[in-house]
Structure 1
Amino acid sequence: MPNQNTENKNPRRGIYLLPNLLTTGGLFAGFFAIVASMGGRFEVAAVAIFIAMIMDGLDGRVARMTNTQSAFGAEYDSMADIVSFGVAPALVTYNWALTEQGKLGWLAAFIFVAAGALRLARFNTQVETADKSYFQGLAIPSAAAILAGMVWLGVDSDYPSGTQFGLPVAIITICLGLLMVSNFRYSSFKEVNWRGKVPFIAILVSVLILVLIAYDPPIVLFIGFSIYALSGPVLTVVRMRSLKDKRGKTEAEAEEENSNKPTE
């Protein structure tokens, strides 16, 4: 007869279904984007990457709302992210515009994938100590959204193949990779209280954004995420200048205080 105490000490292991199912959905969307781009269906591939972003945004929130967070889920989410937001957008972009760039084309795609993997590894090791209000470096889903939005915009603008823009696309792909591993700070928007009350104008702005996205999704998404990517360097420079001005004022006040001291 088995010992009851032994059974209690060794509970049956398992994984939480709902959040990991959403993660799997995002992984499927990323894999489908790769397959679609191999068949020349670049618009479908770009949309699939944005669907993966929606799944990625839902799985963590669902896990927190249902209290089903787990170490397995966190690791699985990171592995799915490198496929959906690293490999998938890099290969979709390569198949759309970089095939005729030779070594530069596939090296640009590889730099994006490698930088995304490094970005995820750094995030996972600093998640307990980092400031929750900011990301260090551009988040990999945002970088993927820019590439996917660029491909979608190109196809929507009657450029089913972007090989004529190969060099600019390669430069953009490399720059996005560098932004992911940079030390620029990006707002995480985690300080927003989604359950709190907001002014009525905030609802109007939200409706306006949704209308703009529905009117022309590729250009609005591409421009929106591009502005966010540029916000990191801009805000970092503004912050450094502000700190420099404060330091200069402090030193000036200290010198003035020393000059006003009576001499013996």
Structure 2
Amino acid sequence: MPNTPSTKNRGIFLLPNLLTTAGLFSGFFAIVASMNNQFESAAIAIFVAMVFDGLDGRVARMTNTESDFGAEYDSMADIVSFGMAPALVMYNWALSDLGKFGWLAAFIFVAGGALRLARFNTNLGTSDKRYFQGLAIPSAAAIVSGLVWVGTKYQVDPNSISYLAAILTICAGLLMVSNFRYHSFKDVDWRGRVSFVVILIIVLAFVVVATEPSLVLFSIFFLYALSGPILTIRSVNRLELKHVVGDTDEECEAAKNADKREVEAKEAAKTVQKDDKKETSE
């Protein structure tokens, strides 16, 4: 049987989707570990999922194995690893005794993560690559799971900080659906040459992280979460509601252009149908 273009394109690329599956497994393991009161392992598993999430897209681009399936699969894995997993780990650790307020706080985080991913996927072609609109879901997951990791590492009684944990979880969820601008670091040239001093700084950074990984990583992502509001406030003359939440001017303009193109496409299709009917009748 000859290989047609349709048969050649069947199947999925193994390597990037294997990394995505590894990230999904890490997120699922975090949920199971938290159910067995292994909260430190659960928190670490979420950070491991972040590593796989950072690798799968880059590997796909480097090996020219990007695909629509991979993009959709990555989003589905992200909502489990960075949406459901951190929320359930936090709930099992500190929020379960708060009753309705506890599980609602966890749900706000999950809903914020799902909305963040949906907005990111729909704005992929129109957004500024240098910035994220809203806190990225892996960073939000790092804050929530980082608090669990720090609390478990230093034997903090979760009941003593349950309301603080709930507020942090809610804030992380709301920051994901905000309009605050966060540096994406996608404009960094990772293939370019750097000086010896830069390599030395990177080595020292790894040493600092290795000394107290839970506290250092939580502090880094917590400060990154604060950088969004600070960057947004400094970049505008007057802070308005649209800078915090809601549709931005760029999104409204993109939506109008999309609607216009859709109307034009429908009119063009109707014109083609009319021409075909005329030719058939003749």
Q: TM-score, normalised by structure 2?
A: 0.82
Q: Secondary structure of 2:127's match?
A: coil
Matched, 1:110 2:110: no
Match of 1:171 in 2: 167
* Residue 24 (structure 1) aligned with residue 21 (structure 2): yes
Q: Which amino acid aligns with 2:70?
A: G
Measured in 2, the distance between the counterparts of 1:203 and 1:9 equals 46
Alpha-carbon offset, residue 9 of structure 1: 4.4
Which secondary structure does the structure 2 equivalent of 1:14 belong to? coil
Which region of structure 1 is more displaced relative to structure 2, 59-68 or 8-17?
A: 8-17
Q: For 2:237 and 2:208, locate their aligned partners in 1 and report how far apart those are by CA, in whole Å.
A: 35
Given that 1:99 and 1:163 are in contact with CA atoms closer than 8 Å, whether structure 2 keeps it comes out as no
Measure, in 1, the Cα distance between the counterparts of 2:7 and 2:211: 52
Aligned twin of 2:189: 193
Read off the aligned partner of 1:193 and give its amino acid letter. D
Give the C-alpha shift of residue 242 in structure 1.
8.9
2:229 counterpart of 1:233: yes
Q: Which residue of 1 aligns with 2:248?
A: none
Task: Name stretches of at least 5 consecutive residues in structure 2 with no aligned partner.
Answer: 240-282
1:83 matched residue in structure 2 = 80
- C-alpha separation in 1, matches of 2:189 and 2:217: 24
Partner residue of 1:253?
none
Give the corresponding residue for 1:212: 208
Q: How do residues 1-264 of structure 1 correspond to structure 2 at under 5 angstroms?
A: 4=2, 7-12=3-8, 13-159=10-156, 161-241=157-237
The corresponding residue for 2:264 is none
Match of 1:257 in 2: none
Letter matched to residue 224 of structure 1:
I
Q: Residues 45, 210 of structure 1: CA spacing in aligned structure 2 closer, same or farther, 3 A cutoff? A: same
Query: How much has 1:41 moved relative to structure 2?
Result: 0.2
Q: Please tell me whether the aligned partners of residues 138 and 229 of structure 1 are also in contact (alpha carbons under 8 angstroms).
A: yes
| Pairwise CA RMSD | 1.5
Secondary structure in 1 aligned to 2:19?
Answer: helix
Q: Percent identity?
A: 66
- Classify the secondary structure of the residue corresponding to 2:236: helix
Q: 1:197 to 1:140 in 2, by over 3 A?
A: same
* Matched residue, 1:256: none
Distance in 1, matches of 2:84 and 2:238, equals 38
Q: 1:14 to 1:162 in 2, by over 3 A?
A: same
Change (3 A) 1:9 1:189: closer
1:213 and 1:103 map into 2 onto residues whose CA distance is 36
- Matched to 1:93, the amino acid is M
TM-score by length of 1: 0.88
